[in-house]
Structure 1
Amino acid sequence: MSEPMRIALVGASGLVGRAVLQAARIRSGQTLLALVRRPPDPALAAHACVRVAEPAAWADIVAGFRPEALICALGTTWRKSGRSRAAFRAVDHDLVVDMAAAARRGGATCAVIVSAVGADAASRSLYLKTKGQMERDLARLEFPRLHFLRPGLLRGERLGDRRLKEGAAVSLSPVLDRLLPERLSRFRSIAADDVAVAALTLCHDRATGVRVHHNAEIVRAACKTEES
């Protein structure tokens, strides 16, 4: 029997990160290190090694864990960043790149990064431009296996995170999704649980190179776990 894969998870307190912790409860095959600023729900943390620390200490913790893979679900909002471009970029770009670099130093050969549909380094949108530049700079770290997940609108329960416009969109998503033609299916909503399961599955995928996964590919990867 092979040894469990060592996976570092950053962004464990957000919607997708919590879903990864939940998925790890029913999936074997990994030893999961979760980095958080505040202690999570004990039930979610039951199948992970949780380290509570400030982000400034995360890089050393990740590298010292010597992970085989990294799952990064970091992300902030315009409101949480104090409506500061620099503060927003510090999380959605700088911290993500720093965590990936730390994982690479620790020996990781795979990284699964939650990005966003429409990510583009040349976009006029601060959000999409930051995500695109993050993807570009992570590709320079030369992970043998690098996966960018670009989900559409995420469905799931956010704890203590009021996003009124996004919440309204999620409520309307059953109607909006049906209105979008198949060629625009990447912009439909998707369950955070599917993104989380796909992230864990892709850590074990041995295909090499940089790969981008939109909704259809994310669901396909999640279904692989259900079928195995």
Structure 2
Amino acid sequence: MSVPPSDILLVGATGLIGRAVIAVAAGRRLTILARRPMDDVPERHALLVAPPERWADMIAAERPPVLVCCLGTTIRQAGSQAAFRAVDHDLILSAARGARLGGATQMIVVSAVGASAQSRNFYLRTKGETEDGLRALGFARLDIMRPGLLTGERAGPPRLGEGIASAVAPVTDVLLRGSLRRYRSIPAAVVARAIGALAGQGGPGVHIHENDSMRRLAD
């Protein structure tokens, strides 16, 4: 990663991309904020454990220049649309507000391809509304990662739908050409390396990164 040690605070570390971010942070020291202890965090990283309602204050107190947010769940995992929104919208914006209060100048957030506040799809509409909320917070630089189907080894119980989609991805990816390339599957490790390449980059504004862009950054 391209910023000094401890200048990156990571939330969402227990998910597929969050774990990949930790794995690719070779030689760097992250501050990781999680809701429960993590046994497999390398000793060089700082691990903070607290309930989500305290995260904003803790992030503000840490004063990280860069906030990396890999938070995300599914409606099935959350149990309801309201519970899903509480994580993928409310908690993300709360963490971001804490970061801004602490002086963060950059946020990198994992969203989803097709995210739009105007979407008829609840999942994509929520992601789009989250993106709009983050834009309004005024980070000097906001990097929005929009992956399609994520591939990689997940912790916890398997997700049947994602397992099937991953199995057929090599075939469907070939069929997704032109403007549809952005919907191709992408390994979580590639997204994580792209996040590492972006952390600490200059250049103000909002930057959207989809499949091809993330793969270039990862290389």
1:85 aligns with 2:81: yes
8 A contact 1:5–1:68 mirrored in 2: no
Distance 1:118 1:174 in 2: 20
1:71 and 2:68 are equivalent in the alignment = yes
The DSSP-based 3-state class of the residue aligned with 1:127 is: helix
- Residue 38 of structure 1 corresponds to 36
Instruction: Give 3-state SS (helix, strand or coil) of 1:148's partner.
Output: strand
Work out whether residues 6 and 31 of structure 2, in 8 Å CA contact, stay in contact via their aligned partners in 1. no
Q: Partner letter of residue 17 of structure 2?
A: V
Please report the TM-score for the alignment, with normalisation by the length of structure 1: 0.91
Task: State the alpha-carbon separation in 1 of the partners of residues 27 and 182 from structure 2.
Answer: 27
The whole-number CA distance in structure 2 between the counterparts of 1:27 and 1:150 is 27
1:15 aligns with 2:13: no
1:196, 1:161 → 2: CA distance? 22
Mind listing any 5+ residue stretches in structure 2 that lack a counterpart? none
Q: What is residue 207 of structure 1 aligned with on the other side?
A: 203
User: In 1, Cα distance between the equivalents of 2:69 and 2:97?
Assistant: 12
Label 1:151 to 1:132 Cα distance change in 2 as closer, same or farther (>3 A). same
Gaps of 5+ in 1: 224-228
Deviations 1:83-135 (A, max 9, x none): x2211111000000010110111110000000000001011111000000000
Q: Deviation at 1:222?
A: 1.2
The partner residue of 1:172 within 168, 176, 192 is 168
In 1, distance between residues paired with 2:104 and 2:50?
21
Residue 154, structure 1, aligned to residue 150, structure 2: yes
Amino acid corresponding to residue 18 of structure 1 in structure 2: R
Cα distance in structure 1, aligned partners of 2:6 and 2:33: 17
% same residue: 50
Task: Letter of the 1:53 partner, please give it.
Answer: A
Spell out structure 1 runs of 4+ moving beyond 6 A: none
Residues 6 and 21 (structure 1 numbering): CA distance in 2 closer, same or farther, change over 3 Å? same
Q: Deviations over 1:139-167 (max 9, x none)?
A: 00000000000011101111114321111
Partner of 1:124: 120
CA contact (8 A) 1:14 1:158 kept: yes
Tell me the distance in 2 between the aligned counterparts of 1:27 and 1:183: 37
Change (3 A) 1:4 1:124: same
